[in-house]
Structure 1
Amino acid sequence: MSKKQNQSIIRKMISITIVALILGAVCFLGGVLLAQRSHSGKTSVTSDTLFQQLRSVSQLTTVEYHYTNMGKFEKNADLNGWTIPLTKASFILAYDGKITAGVRLDDVQIDVQDKTITITLPPAEILSHEVDEASIEVYDESNNLFNPISISDYAAFSKQQKTVMEGKVVDGGLLEEARKKAGEVISQLLETANPEYTIQVQEAKEA
């Protein structure tokens, strides 16, 4: 499957949500700042004050990807690198998972020049990857007396499959979508708190 086709599939499957906590922080913080501004008069805007405005959201989560994955595990016993016949053991593992992606605000750079606030965001990254333990099901388990399946086989295969899924969603454009949504939320927050300023959001250039 081509990268373009993979991106199309991911975009159709992806569930994009601005986390309610983030939106609540935007509305709450913006209201507080506006109330403070109305009582204390004009406030000087600096990089420090802007960091204070963003502090309530230290880790900005903007995109969630929910999926159901199914993978097949196989192993054969071997002796000195040679596969021993009739020792194959296998199983199919199915489970539901959730990947969240966004940007870490601790790494944001802020620059204030005249009436323009420039926000430089770090690249988006996968922030968490959770598997619903209750959803895990094992199918077509084929154990072998001479090569039994162990608990470590299940754990290692599950970890491998999580890595595979992360690669798929990254190739499908999840991080690009997360970066876009992060910029939108930050712009909304700062525009609400600093209406007299022009907000510019950009991504940090790779070294």
Structure 2
Amino acid sequence: MWEWLKDNVTLLQVLVSLTSALVWIAYLQMFAASFRRQTRSSLLITLAGGRGPTGRCIVSNMGSEPAYLMDVLAEFEADGNQTAVSVVDRLELWDKSSDVTTGVSAVGPLTSGSYVDIGSFDNLFARARKRLGTTDATEKAETIKLIAIAATSQARDLVAAYRSFELYRPEGSDTVQLLPVEVESKQIRSRRKRKKLRALLEELQRNEAVERDVLRDVGPPRGGPI
């Protein structure tokens, strides 16, 4: 045995070196994956205060880095048609104040773990009607999809998350109930999709609304991974 070890000492040294290198490579991969998870952006969209139209829409930053909330889009779907419009500005307050520092818009920085109250769903519907100049999209809507878009320091492009709600109208009642479709917000992290987010915001700067399924452009493939 000792003779064999002496004769193959060079080979053993090479094998030990290779094994050590493989261990270090595996360790570095685990460390890199853990670091990416810790610094990964995460926006949450939640419904608070009941499932009725007075329920509040809350956007939270659960990432480890600060984020700047740039917009919140509401996409209404009715009769197979989609209409997306920005609802981040509190238009109901614009007639009362022209100072953006008094809360007339939810746009602004969010530290890690902080949140912003976008408004009640009644407010969101009213803002959409005001921008669109019609009630068709909101009164006939079967679902509403909310897309929160933010900028972060660790991402070159914008980041976003979305969540869908079914609009259930009990028979014989004028009230609407919001039934969440997803258990939690779905994150949009694909670099290609995040670039499309910027193009979408640029389009909304020129138009009050976008009449198409925007999640088809910026969201994950239908039935595919997030």
> Scaled by the length of structure 2, what TM-score is found?
0.26
- When you count helix as a share of all residues, which structure comes out higher? 1
Higher RCO (CA-CA < 8 Å; seq separation 6+): 1
